[in-house]
Structure 1
Amino acid sequence: MKSHSNQCYALSTGEGKSYWFLGTLFEVKAAGKKTNGFFSLIEELNPPGEGPPLHVHHNEDEAFYVLEGKVTFQVGEKTLNGKVGSFIFAPRDIPHTYRVEGEAPAKFLTMMMPSKMEQLFIELGTPALERTLPPATLTTDIEKMYKLAEEYNVEILE
């Protein structure tokens, strides 16, 4: 791996490129290009009752930090209740998913180590026109999602 970047930067609330993907708003706070591939950091806003399909990352570890709302995480055989201030770690090669609980959206930070997975979200996503959940009429190209998942060494299990 490359050495640490000597270029610092800062992003405030509402700064960072935003994308709509699978009914969610993703705001990229740190991309691999800025961290020399060490990690990526995304702020997510997820609607109630939603979450990704059960899947496995074979190249990245993933960590979550809940900022708002309630989220139930499934990591391997464990069910973990995420509330404000909760940290959840999902190691590579372990199936995982999550679901937003209750009536309100959930906001959390997602970190992937090393970086690269954020590019899947960017490639599959639609640039967000505003920093809100996407319109209900916006859909995800599922065939493209499976193709990109294979390219990024992610298994979708459900």
Structure 2
Amino acid sequence: MLDRPRTYNVLNILMKFHAFPSETMDKFCFVECLVPVGAGAPPNHHAGETESFYIIDGQIGFMVDGKEILAGPGDHVAIPDGAVHAFQAVGDKPARLLIINAPGHMHDKFFTGIGHPLPEGQTELPEPSEPDIPSVLSLAEKVGMTFVAPAEAPA
């Protein structure tokens, strides 16, 4: 076990790292998330890392390369390397999901870099807070992640 925090508040999402890449022979990062309704990740893409989501409870709305997907318990959504994607918890309760990032170094650095460590064993959602958007964008650029502005709706 590493001597570093495993539980973080990342953009108001409770993230518990079950495995860091350094613990999986640099093959993947394995994270469990509790996502409040309305929270998630804005449209982004990253070359060199695939991402896989497995929904345990609740519902998540995904956008993958322009295609909308509504996923619920037992559903798996794979994000191809480099695909523009976003997700958001929807419905009337928080969503629980598992995320595997492979090889995971980018997501490890990003999530733990923008996240705030929480007490180990915390299972309740953290107090919501406003993210420091310039810091989020700066770290994303450093690790190779790009956020994409949503297309403007026609007038």
Of all paired residues, the percent bearing the same amino acid is 27
- Residue 131 of structure 1 deviates from its aligned partner by 2.5
3-state SS in 2 of match to 1:33? helix
1:133 aligns with 2:125: yes
- Residue 140 of structure 1 deviates from its aligned partner by 2.2
1:58 to 37, 47, 53: 47
3-state SS in 2 of match to 1:52? strand
- Residue 119 of structure 1 deviates from its aligned partner by 2.0
For 1:19 and 1:28, locate their aligned partners in 2 and report how far apart those are by CA, in whole Å.
Answer: 8
Q: Contact 1:18–1:131 at 8 Å: present in 2 too?
A: no
Task: Say how many residue pairs are matched.
Answer: 143
1:151 aligns with 2:142: yes
Alignment root-mean-square deviation, CA: 1.4
The alignment's TM-score, normalised by the length of structure 2, stands at: 0.87
3-state SS in 2 of match to 1:122? helix
- Residue 139 of structure 1 deviates from its aligned partner by 3.1
Structure 2 residue runs without a partner (length 5+): 150-155
For 2:131 and 2:12, locate their aligned partners in 1 and report how far apart those are by CA, in whole Å.
Answer: 8
The alignment's TM-score, normalised by the length of structure 1, stands at: 0.85
Deviations 1:45-72 (A, max 9, x none): 0001221110001120000000000111
Name the structure 2 match of 1:89.
Answer: 78
2:10 to 12, 21, 24: 21
Moved over 3 A (4+): none
Instruction: Look up the equivalent residue of 1:150 and give its one-letter code.
Output: E
